[in-house]
Structure 1
Amino acid sequence: MNQTYGIAGVSAVVLATVLVGALGLRISRTTSDFYVASRSVPPRLNAFAVSGEYLSAASFLGVAGLVLAQGADMLWFPIGYTAGFLVLLAFVAAPLRRSGAYTLPDFAEARLESRAVRRIASVLVVGVGWLYLLPQLRGAGLTLRLLTGAPGWFGGLVVAAVVTVAVAAGGMRSITFVQAFQYWLKLTALLVPAVFLLIAWRADRAPAPAWDERPVFQRSTQVGTDRPLTLTVHEPVRVKVTGTVDGRPLDGGPLTLGAGTHRVGPGTTLSFPPGAPVPLPDDGGPGTAPSGWAQPLSAGREQHGLYATYGLILATFLGTMGLPHVVVRFYTNPDGRAARRTTVIVLGLLGAFYLLIPLYGVLGRLYAPDLLLTGDTDAAVLVLPQRLIGGVGGDLLGALVAGGACAAFLSTVSGLTMSVAGVLAQDVLPTLGIRH
């Protein structure tokens, strides 16, 4: 990916985030403004904001990477994520809003009339918020590393700094506008490149892939490793190596990797010819096995695959109502009816977004199978524009995708920071005797 275009795309998103957030700053004046936007956010705007913060790094990058690596079974993730809002619609949205609470622990105490429950809920909110923050910061680090070569911690630091300023300055008023804007940015960042990727795929006239076989390199491909790898080769493959393989140093010379396992040293570059099968790490996973990628619950997956699938659906379906940065947004609606309308609109917005994600996973299987080798499958969405289109067009589309990824980190981290900050200020610090 062209670094100049990528940095420009990410910088534009950061600048737009600051400018849009400033709109909320101008009208945020009271405590109610800061925590719940004075409970005056209309359903449509709130639905955009909910969708903006819910579509995190896991949705923008992770699901496509899972489909690339593990296959069709991974589509249960977006299905469960979206269907979880049915639970919110039926049981959670309206009661949350009618409670008049500011935070989840406040709501829990009002419903169960227990201070102990409030304390437990406070610990859970802070814990869930922190655990949910980690993949966002990792995704930010991955994106900035691909764009600039910066160390992995740098992207997380940038996101944390921007979000801290936005939240501290304008609170819920600011992040409502920011998250609504970022939903449409993320949808555009996926939709526009997807159109061009499909056109390029059709123009490529590549032979129809055998989805139930191991992936192959469609074109000559160079793969660089920055750490040691142990690869599993199922049929001999001819490569050119600069580095070390099985302790043998080579300087661009040819080598045949025979069937079995091979140790690749750090800093090694492997050049594969078109049609070569992709050698996979020892932990390549069930989706990389023959007959394991395109068929749900296929042979070779873990035992009791059907029960595992039901468990995944149940966890994602019910887990949505336990995400503090999602449920806190229903406090911003004018009333319970508006909260339900918000949820209905969110279902449509998330459905439109998740229709695009599997496409990137499928195309990644075709044109970026080297990510299976290096383990950077989360980068599939970011690298595909350059792989299929190339040139200035690929750079521009790559910059758009990178901007969308940056928006995903910023919007979700904003919501998490706001929800956790509210619990700390309203529930944790008062119990410690700290005034705020």
Structure 2
Amino acid sequence: MNQTYGVVAVSAAVVATLVIGSTGLRVSRTTSDFYVASRTVPPYLNAMAVSGEYLSAASFLGIAGLVAAQGVEMLWFPVGYAAGYLVLLAFVAAPLRRSGAYTLPDFADSRLESRAARRVASVLVVGVGWLYLLPQLQGAGLTLGLVTGAPRWLGGVLVAAVVTLAVAAGGMRGITFVQAFQYCLKLAALLVPAIFLVIAWHGDPHPARAVDEPPTFRRHTQVTVESTVRIRIGAPLRAVVTGAVDGVDHDGGRLLLEPGVHEVRAGTTLRFPPTAPVPERETGDEGRDGASGWAAPLSGGKDEHPLYTTYGLICATFLGTMGLPHVLVRFYTNPDGRAARRTTVIVLALVGGFYLLPPLYGLLGRLYAPDLLLTGNTDAAVLVLPERLVG
């Protein structure tokens, strides 16, 4: 990957974020300005800001990676996320806006008239915030590392610094403009490459391979294992190995991997020939494997309760959407309850359109980046596919 272009692109995004965020500094004069933009944000702008906040690295990198690794059952995640906005529309948006509160603990206190409820809400907001930040920082480190070659920790530090500066400079007004800009940037960053990927994919003689057959390497592929893994081989497989497999060191020689489970030590490099099947990472779940498991639409293994698991996943994800503090706080910025409802309807359209793209990346990742299935770095599918298909 061309690291010069990556550095320029990341630098441009950082500068644009800081410049747009600082515009709120000129108009933020009161507490209401800083916390809730004086409750004057129109629905369309607020919807773009909500979508920009919500569609984080964990959403578009993670969903694509989950689809590539575990199959179409992972599409229930975005379904549940979108369903959460329906619940917000029906039960939360308007009452939250009418409360006149600045924060969720304020809302809990005024609604329930309980200081204990306020304290519990404060703890939950901080806890949910930290749990939500972890995958975002991991995604930032992954992205920056792949496109610029920087160490993984630098991505999290950079994101934390930029967000802190943008919030301090412009408050809610500045962040509203920043998040709306970032929604457009994220959509373009996925949509434009997707167009070229589909063009490059068109005419492939095996377009249904991801559904009908287990994944295979399309060309000579070298895979370096970053951490020790256990892999399952279904049929004898030859590979050139540099490193340790099953406790035995190899120095670039050919090795015949017999059917069964093998341990590959961290730092080991394996080179596979074209058409070789991709070894399966051992996860302890024997219930679903191969192409048939990947194409199954219900969550859970053969011996479990897939329909129950699927409905449980949907309920968990839409309740999770309702519990994201940085999403809920945006409804404080609408002029009234009606505007809050309109914001939610627009968000449904924006989020729904966005989520059409990660499944495409997941499918193409299984076809053209099968080495990610072996290393476990399927979150990188969105980032490596343009180079694999287009060059």
Q: Shorter-chain TM-score: what band?
A: over 0.9
Task: Measure the CA separation in 1 of the matches of 2:228 and 2:288.
Answer: 22
In the TM superposition, 1:237-276 aligns within 5 A as: 237-276=237-276
Cα distance in structure 2, aligned partners of 1:59 and 1:204 = 28
Separation of aligned partners in 2, 1:151 and 1:356: 28
Mean alpha-carbon deviation: is it higher for 51-60 or for 244-253? 244-253
Q: 1:381 to 1:16 in 2, by over 3 A?
A: same
Contact 1:284 1:372 in 2 (8 A): no
Distance, in Å, in 2 between the alignment partners of 1:298 and 1:105 is 35
CA contact (8 A) 1:212 1:293 kept: no
**Offset at residue 145 of structure 1 (A):** 2.2
1:74 aligns with 2:67: no
Once the two structures are superposed, what CA deviation does each residue of 1:325-363 show, in whole Å capped at 9, x if it has no partner?
001000001111111111111010001100111000000
Alignment partner of 1:242: what SS?
Answer: strand
The within-5 A match list for 1:374-413 is 374-390=375-391
In 2, the alpha carbon distance for the partners of 1:359 and 1:236 equals 32
Q: SS at the partner of 1:314?
A: helix
Q: Percent identity?
A: 73
Deviation, 1:287, is: 5.7
- My pick for the range that moved more, 312-321 or 241-250, is 241-250
Render the CA deviation track for 1:31-82: whole Å, top value 9, x for unaligned. 1111000100011100000000011122110001111111111100001101
**Residues 294-303 or 129-138, more deviating:** 294-303
Structure 2: gaps of 5 or more residues: none
Instruction: Please report the TM-score for the alignment, with normalisation by the length of structure 2.
Output: 0.96
For the Cα contact (< 8 Å) 2:210–2:363, is it kept in 1?
no
Contact kept, 8 Å, 1:212 with 1:292, in 2: the verdict is: no
Report if aligned partners of 1:33, 1:172 keep a CA contact under 8 Å in 2: yes
Within a 5 Å distance, the mapping from 1:321-332 to structure 2 comes to: 321-332=322-333
Counterpart residue number, 1:395: none
> 8 Å contact 1:82–1:347 — kept in the other structure?
yes
Report what 1:101 is aligned to. Answer: 101
> Cα–Cα, structure 1 residues 108 and 221, in superposed 2: closer, same or farther, change >3 Å?
same
1:85 aligns with 2:85: yes
Question: Residue type matched to 2:32 in 1?
Answer: S
Change beyond 3 A, Cα 1:105–1:198: same
Task: Please state if 1:117 is matched with 2:117.
Answer: yes
For structure 1, which segment, 58-67 or 236-245, has the greater mean C-alpha deviation from structure 2 after superposition? Answer: 236-245
Q: What is the distance in 1 between the residues matched to 2:10 and 2:337?
A: 37
Q: Which amino acid aligns with 2:373?
A: L
Q: 1:53 to 1:278 in 2, by over 3 A?
A: same
Contact 1:291 1:299 in 2 (8 A): no
Structure 1 residue 213: deviation in Å? 3.6
Q: Could you say which residue in structure 1 is the equivalent of 2:339?
A: 338
Distance 1:36 1:299 in 2: 42
Which amino acid counterpart does residue 21 of structure 1 have in structure 2?
G
CA–CA distance in structure 2, aligned partners of residues 159 and 123 of structure 1 = 24
Contact 1:166–1:175 (CA<8 Å) still a contact in 2? Answer: yes
SS of residue matched to 1:101: coil
Report if the CA contact (8 A) 1:292-1:301 is conserved. Answer: no
The residue number in structure 1 matching 2:144 is: 144
Deviation at 1:203, TM superposition (A): 4.0
Matches of 1:16 and 1:210, distance apart in 2: 39
Match for residue 225 of structure 1? 225
Give me the CA root mean square deviation.
Answer: 1.7
Deviations 1:223-248 (A, max 9, x none): 11122222111111121122222233
Q: Distance in 2 between matches of 1:2 and 1:345?
A: 37
| Alignment deviations for residues 13-38 of structure 1 (CA, whole Å, 9 cap, x no partner) | 11110111121122111111110001
Residue number in structure 2 paired with 1:36:
36
Which has the higher mean CA deviation after the structures are superposed, 257-266 or 349-358? 257-266
Q: Secondary structure at the match of 2:292?
A: coil
Given that 1:225 and 1:267 are in contact with CA atoms closer than 8 Å, whether structure 2 keeps it comes out as yes
Quote the Cα distance in structure 1 between the aligned partners of 2:153 and 2:210: 39
Partner residue of 2:292? 291
Which residue of structure 1 lines up, in the alignment, with residue 179 of structure 2? Answer: 179
Count of aligned pairs? 390
Deviations 1:264-286 (A, max 9, x none): 22222111111111112211856
Please give the TM-score of this superposition, normalised by the length of structure 1: 0.86
